[in-house]
Amino acid sequence: MASENDNSQSQTLKAVLGLRGLIVDGEVLAGERITEPFISERFGVSRTPARSALNQMADEGLLERTASNRFTVKTYTEADIYQAIEIRGTLEGLAARFAAEGNATSGVISEMYSCVIQLDEVVDNLSDTIDQDDYVRLNDRFHELLVEASGSQMVERSLEKIKSLPFASANAFVKSLSLDKPSVQRVLLMAQEQHRAIVECIKLGKGARAQALALEHSFCAARYLQILKAFKQKIPWASDEPEVGENFRPTGAVHHLKGGKK
């Protein structure tokens, strides 16, 4: 019996991870129906784990359960996307401050410097999809190290929750853009200098500055979002409603990006 339960849990995890990947990568679109047979066939799992995966993804907010108990990929507004970016930035800002205030070990700081150096090489030579994959991998690693440097399980758990949304990760919009565009490269260069400055502030114990930089850095995602719109590309996971609701008032760096005044 225990073996059967373990197998069912393993199949459910396989289906959850696979389906989450499809949603995050935009391979299934907002509003698209997801069924048990689709999951079973795509990921090689039985119907019971497929159903469990659907329910778990609905609880995470990636799927929406209809009144008839059907599941569709959840659609978010542009306001939702900006707010999620700001929430992630706020949490990563806390991570940077905690790291600078003494929680970061010399080993983690060393790894962060190494990651920045590797990113330098990629950013200086962006030309093809291989470079883009390298950037995404190293950028993910930098943000993982930032959380590790904080030494805070509370920050880590909170970030895991917000980053389960497909548009809230550090690489959410990078994957949707061609990195050889000058407008994209300008943001990449700015982001890379922010990476370097964040590590320097952590090493020097400048908590407030590290926090401010990490928050500012998160809004590179908002810049990428604006570039997508400028090139008339479909915004992944967003509805086709107008930009943002009239009651939405972005704060901080997002406020500047939307053309407001502080």
- pLDDT bin (cut points 50, 70, 90) of residue 261 is very low
Return the H-helix or E-strand segment holding 71.
Answer: strand 71-73
The hierarchical CATH code for the domain 78-234 is 1.20.120.530
| Per-residue pLDDT reduced to its tens digit, 137-154 | 999 999 999 999 999 999
Is residue 166 classed exposed, middle or buried when 0-12, 13-18 and 19+ CB atoms within 10 A define those classes? buried
Q: How far is CA 221 from CA 95, 144, 182, 215, 226, in A?
A: 18, 17, 16, 11, 9
User: Looking at the whole model, is its pTM more than 0.85?
Assistant: no
User: Tokens at residue 32, please?
Assistant: 């698209």
C-alpha angle 182/183/187, rounded to 5°? 110
Confidence of residue 6 (pLDDT cuts 50, 70, 90): low
CA distance 204 to 197: 10
Share of the chain above pLDDT 70, in %: 84
Q: Is the pLDDT of residue 44 over 80?
A: yes
CATH code: domain 2-73 is 1.10.10.10
User: Phi/psi of residue 33, each to 5°?
Assistant: -75, 140
pLDDT at residue 256, as a whole number: 46
Instruction: Confirm if 211 and 96 have CB atoms less than 8 A apart.
Output: yes
pLDDT digits (tens, 9 = 90+) for 119-129: 999 988 876 55
pLDDT band at 234 (very low <50, low <70, confident <90, very high): low
Q: What is the pLDDT of residue 260?
A: 46
pLDDT in tens, 177-205: 777 778 888 999 999 999 999 999 999 99
Same fold, 2-73 and 78-234: no
Per-domain boundaries in the chain: 2-73, 78-234
**Position with higher pLDDT, 179 vs 108:** 108
Is 5's pLDDT higher than 80?
A: no
